[in-house]
Amino acid sequence: MLKSKSILIGIGGGIAAYKVCEVISSLFQEGAEVRVILTETAQRFITPLTVATLSRHQAYTDQDFWQATHSRPLHIALGEEADLLLIAPLTANTLAKLTYGLADNLLSNTVLASRCPILLAPAMNTEMWEQPVIQRNWQQLQLDTRYHSIGPGSGLLACDRIGAGRMAEPREIITKLHSLIYTQGQQDFQGKRILISGGGTRENLDPVRFLGNPSTGKMGLALAQAASDRGAIVTLIHGPIAPELLPQSPNYNLIPIVTAEEMEAAMINHLKESEIIIMSAAVADVKPAHYTNYKLPKKELSLNLKLESVVDILAKLGTLKKDYQTLIGFAAQTGDIVNPALDKLKRKNLDIIVANPIDKAEAGFGTNTNQAIFIDNKGKQETIDSCSKLELAHRLLDFVKVS
């Protein structure tokens, strides 16, 4: 989604500036045109040569700003060309300047000379972040619809303190930039409560063996990210997901579960309050009839692999849903994906179904991309060609709006 887009990055003076190098490199590899502004203090942590090498463009500093060597004022040109502006790390000093509209360096002048969405990734010591004046400035800035935020998270800081103030990780920042370039900051699901299930469930035979599937939870995470970035109040109920895939500082509620029974209970517990329910989880169809609390010897496995069905969560939600609710299911199929999806749509009383091929390259379980056919209960269909799972999530939300 960022290919050929102009991304302007303002780097503040903090140790977290080193993380921005990964962001610059990743954006360039995605095909974005990356320009970088370094504040005077940022240059104490990373050099203009470093970011120029990674971005393949000149790095701009205040020295460039004050020299009359440009055909147009530098801050005007940079501001007008930008499709998105990222400020990372956002320091206490830059936060105060943005809050009060001050313009005494290249970065702050460029902000005022631009109209694009701005993503802020704050980073500072916990004591600094928790100061009332910082929180007041932060809350004041959130009232401006141009500004969008990510983090800060909690963890070990450079000062050896464990607490709030850690800058969001590069992969989270990049994901947020993808959402912003798609939505341009529009909050078209503002205040809507969306309940999402994601990942796979596991049904244990004994303490070390289980029945499961290859679902990684990437699609559920993408749906939660897209919906929350568009202003929704999101709850994601998810099966086991690798820790490195989970966001450090999510702007939605995460509820981990393991079994289908636990997912059913959690979904029903949050059902009444939700306006949109998206069941993207890969729920097990069967489970061992008996659980053994010790590791079974190999020779006993075949004797103990008697199976029984688990509850059909999506069908149950279909019987419980109210008129104000939209229920969306996923149908992961091989071969013909449309007819089985249509059958599932009607049989389980769904409003929309996502027919998802899992036998095609770069689609289905474990991949970063996906493709699908959206079908609603009025017969409307939309085919989505291969794209990132985040883009597919946004396209599904668009489909919900018109169905």
- What is the spatial distance between Cα 20 and Cα 377, in angstroms, rounded to a whole number? 45
Q: Which of 224-233, 248-257, 355-364 has the highest mean pLDDT?
A: 224-233
Three-class SS of residue 213? coil
pTM comes to 0.91
Three-class SS of residue 376? strand
What percent of the chain has a predicted confidence (pLDDT) above 70?
99
What percent of the chain has a predicted confidence (pLDDT) above 90?
83
Question: Annotation-wise, does 104 bind a ligand?
Answer: no
- φ/ψ (deg, to 5) at 213: -150, 170
Question: Annotation-wise, does 348 bind a ligand?
Answer: yes
The residue that leads in pLDDT, 129 or 360, is 129
Question: Annotation-wise, does 316 bind a ligand?
Answer: no
Domain ranges of the chain: 6-183, 193-402
* Digit-coded pLDDT (tens) for 156-170: 888 888 888 899 999
Catalytic annotation, residues: 159
Rounded to an integer, the average pLDDT of 346-358 is 95
Question: Annotation-wise, does 380 bind a ligand?
Answer: no
Question: Annotation-wise, does 144 bind a ligand?
Answer: no
Ordered DSSP codes for 60-86: E-HHHHTS--SSS-HHHHHHHH-SEEE
Q: If you average pLDDT over every residue of the chain, what do you get? A: 94
For domain 6-183, say whether CATH 3.40.50.1950 is its number: yes
* Digit-coded pLDDT (tens) for 179-212: 999 999 999 999 999 999 999 999 999 999 999 9
The beta-strand segments (E) located in 239-325 are 253-256, 276-279, 286-288, 307-309
Residue 362 pLDDT > 90: no
Superfamily, domain 193-402? CoaB-like (3.40.50.10300)
